[in-house]
Amino acid sequence: MNTGRAPVRVLVVDDQRIICEGIASLLSLHDDIAVLGMASNGQEALERALALRPDVVLMDVRMPVMDGPTATAAIRRQLPTCQVLVLTTFDDDEAVVAAMQAGACGYLLKDIPPDDLAHAIHAAHRRMYLFDRSLVDKVVAALLSAEGQRHDHTPAPRAPLAGPQASLSNREIEVLRLIARGASNREIAMALVISEGTVKAHISSILSRLGLRDRTQAALAARDYGWL
């Protein structure tokens, strides 16, 4: 359906031509998305992105010449308004961490339904973070690993609910745990697949409910009560 808005301009990047063409063909069914072109490796993706100035780049991970994370970092550095959304078959921890650290706004697997992919492209254009549901635990673990808070991807043991924590919602508890482990608002948003504005709202609610002044006090309280 044509909404009257300019279509989201997309560059498709994959080292298999047939996959690029298939994705482009599926996206062509949506008149609110315009596929500007395709690239077969990270170097070509960077060159085409600089020439075409897409709104969103659909980026594979492992490709010849230059891999996806390296290209993502370069594109984000040179075209900061361009969002990079990873679309790949690789779901290992190393690939997820590399994409996140490079500045990707999301990480999706290629078995995503076509309509969901179209919605994801629009969400990425609005600077929302998107992750395949099966990868959320890995995203959280990756954030903690990147912060140097843990040396493996094993979730921290959770203590039973106690004290003021009982007055917090489940989502506020998740936010509080990540604050205590040193995650930034952006990293919390990526881990929980919510906006940074929502993260800030949760933090304000946590501080109010627990009678705390700032996130430093919140982190200390979480540790003192054994909520990590």
Q: Which of the listed residues 134, 167, 185 is the one where a domain comes to its end?
A: 134
pLDDT at 158: 36
Q: How far is CA 145 from CA 4, 98, 148, 191, 226, in A?
A: 44, 12, 5, 12, 20
Claim to verify: residue 51 and residue 112 sit in the same structural domain: yes
Q: Looking at residue 228, what is its pLDDT?
A: 58
Q: Tell me the CA end-to-end span of the chain in Å, nearest whole number.
A: 47
Examine residue 31 and state whether it is found in any structural domain, yes or no: yes
Same domain, 69 and 112: yes
Residue 128 lies in a domain: yes
Q: Tell me which residue range forms the domain holding 204.
A: 156-224
CB-based contacts of 38, cutoff 8 Å, min separation 6 = 11, 12, 13, 14, 17, 20, 21, 24
Nearest to 132 by CA among 154, 153, 152, 116: 116
CA quadruple 54, 73, 150, 134: dihedral, nearest 10 = 30
State pTM to two decimals: 0.65
Whether 121 and 161 share a structural domain: no
Q: Digits of tens for pLDDT over the chain (228 positions)?
A: 455 689 999 999 999 999 999 999 999 999 999 999 999 999 999 999 999 999 999 999 999 999 999 999 999 999 999 999 999 998 887 888 888 889 898 889 999 999 999 999 998 998 877 777 777 666 666 555 555 543 344 444 333 334 444 467 878 888 888 888 778 888 888 778 788 889 999 999 988 888 888 888 888 877 766 665
Please tell me whether residues 128 and 185 are part of one structural domain: no
- What is the reported pLDDT for 152? 43
Residue 49 CA from chain centroid, whole number: 20
Decide if 146 is inside a domain. Answer: no
Can you give the CATH number for the domain in which 211 is found? Answer: 1.10.10.10
Asked whether residue 215 is assigned to any structural domain, the reply reads yes
Structurally, the chain folds into a number of domains equal to: 2
The amino acid sitting at 217 is Q
CATH number where 101 lies: 3.40.50.2300
Are 73 and 182 members of one domain? no
- Same domain, yes or no, for 40 and 99? yes
The verdict on 27 and 86 lying in the same domain is: yes
